[in-house]
Structure 1
Amino acid sequence: MIYIETERLILRPYKQEDVAAFIRLNSDPEVMRYFLEKKTPEESEVMMQKFNRNIEADGFGAFAVEEKATQQFIGFIGLNTFTFEMDFAPAVEVLWRLLPEFWNKGYATEGAKACLDFAQKQLNLNRVYAFTTVSNKASEQVMIKSGMTYVKNFNHPLVPVDHPLLEHKLYVKEYN
C-alpha cells in the first residue's frame, strides 16, 4: 500500500526485502553521526517493525521511501508523535533519514514537503515540528526548503547534558 507518492518517491510501509538496507542505514557512521549511537542489526529490525505497527495503527509514521525510478529502498521519511518533556510536546514531527548515496538529490525535501501536506490535508494537524542538532546543517536546510520556520534552540531532554549533540534547533510548519 502506498501512503504518499511524489514525482520521484513512494512512501509506504516496510517490506521484508527492505531489512538489509534498513540495517545498513542505521549502522552507517556518516548517516548516524548526528545521533547518539548507531543501531545494531537487531535494533534496526525492531525499529522497522515498530514503524510498521505505528503506520498500521495511526495511518502515518516513519514511512519506507522507495525511489520510483529504481524501486529501491533509500531510507525513511515520515511523521512521528513525540512525547518527551518540552514546552512544545507532545506533538508531531516530520523526520527523514536517507542512505548517503541518495543525499543531495532533493529527496529529503521532496518527501518532507509531501509529509507536511499529508499532515495538513489528511490528518488535519495545525502544526508539525522538526528538530535536529545544531551541527546538522543539511537537515536544517531541508526544514527551511520545506517551508518551515525557525522557532528556537533547545537542549534535547534525551541527550546527556555533557554530550556535543545536546543543543538542537526547532522548526515548525503551522497551518491556518
Structure 2
Amino acid sequence: MNPFWILHTGRLRLTPVSGADLADLQAIKRDPRVFAIMLGGVRTAAQTADELARDIIAWSAHGYGIWTIRENPGGGFVGLTGLEDRPDGRGVALRFALWPEAQGKGYAREAAGAALRFGHDRAGLRRIVAVARESNFASRTVLGGIGMSECDSFEQGGHRMLMYESIAEPAS
C-alpha cells in the first residue's frame, strides 16, 4: 500500500481498503441502517467482496478510491469514505457511510473533508461531486460543512436527489 494514500486527521485514520477489511465492509454494507439509502442499497456478502476487489484495483488505476475509517489511536472501524466514479457518468463522487454509533461526533465531516482535500490536492481532481437524498439532512449538512455547494438535482427511485460539487481553484 502506498503510504501517500493513508490519511490522518485529529481523531481518525483513513486507510485504503484491503482484503483485511472484508469482514468490516460486509458488516456495514449489509446493515440497512447504514446502506439502505446508499446508491445500490444494502449489499450481500458476495456483492461486497466483488466491490472490494474493484476498489483495490481502483487505487492502482486512479490514485484514489475508498478508505476505511478507524478511530485513532488503534481504534475500531467506524465506517468508510472515498472517491469513485459515479456509474451514471456524473463525475468522481465523494461518498461516506458510518455506523450509527459513530454518527453525531463529527467523524463524517472530518473523514469526508480529508477525502475531499486528498482528491483535489493529491489526486489532482478539479471537480468532485456528491449526491444526497433531499431528505437526508445529516449528509447534506456534512457536504455543506466541507465546502461543497448544491449544483443540480434529479429524480432517482422516487426520491429527489441533490447534487453537490467542489471545484478546486487553479494553482497560481
The verdict on a shared fold, with TM-score over 0.5 as the criterion, is: yes
Q: 1:131 is matched with which residue? A: 131
Aligned residue pairs total 165
Asked whether 1:78 is paired with 2:78, we answer: no
State the alpha-carbon separation in 1 of the partners of residues 52 and 164 from structure 2. Answer: 26
Q: Does 1:97 align with 2:90?
A: no
1:172 deviates by 0.9
Q: CA RMSD in A?
A: 1.8
> What residue is the counterpart of 2:163 in the other structure?
170
Separation in 2, partners of 1:46, 1:7? 32
1:32, distance to aligned residue in structure 2 (A): 1.9
**TM-score by structure 2 length?**
0.86
Q: Assess if the C-alpha contact under 8 Å between 2:18 and 2:56 holds in 1.
A: no
Q: Is 1:37 equivalent to 2:25 in the alignment?
A: no
Q: Distance in 2 between matches of 1:5 and 1:23?
A: 24
Q: Counterpart of 1:69 in 2: which secondary structure?
A: coil
Q: CA separation of 1:56/1:175 partners in 2, compared to 1, >3 Å: closer, same or farther?
A: same
TM-score (norm 1): 0.84
Q: Indicate the residue corresponding to 2:58 in structure 1.
A: 54
- The separation in 2 between residues aligned to 1:45 and 1:73, in whole angstroms, is 17
Please state how far the C-alpha of 1:136 moved relative to its aligned partner: 1.4
Cα distance in 1 between the residues matched to 2:18 and 2:120: 27
Structure 2 gaps of 5+ residues are: none
Determine the C-alpha separation between the residues in 1 that align with 2:87 and 2:27: 27
Compute the displacement of 1:54 (Å): 0.8
Cα displacement (A) at 1:79: 0.8
Of 1, 10, 13 in structure 2, the residue corresponding to residue 10 of structure 1 is: 13
1:113-124, aligned counterparts within 5 Å?
A: 113-124=113-124
Q: Secondary structure at the match of 1:34?
A: coil
Q: Runs (4+) of structure 1 moved beyond 6 Å?
A: none
CA offset at residue 83 of structure 1? 4.5
> Hey, what's the Cα distance between the residues in 1 that align with 2:79 and 2:130?
17
Q: Is the 8 A contact 1:18 1:73 kept in 2?
A: no
CA displacement, residues 17-65 of structure 1 (integer Å, 9 cap, x when unaligned):
4222211101112112313531111111221222111112222101122
Give 1:160's aligned residue: none
- Greater alpha carbon shift after TM alignment, 103-112 vs 2-11: 2-11
CA contact (8 A) 1:34 1:136 kept: no
State, as a whole percentage, how many aligned pairs show the same letter: 27
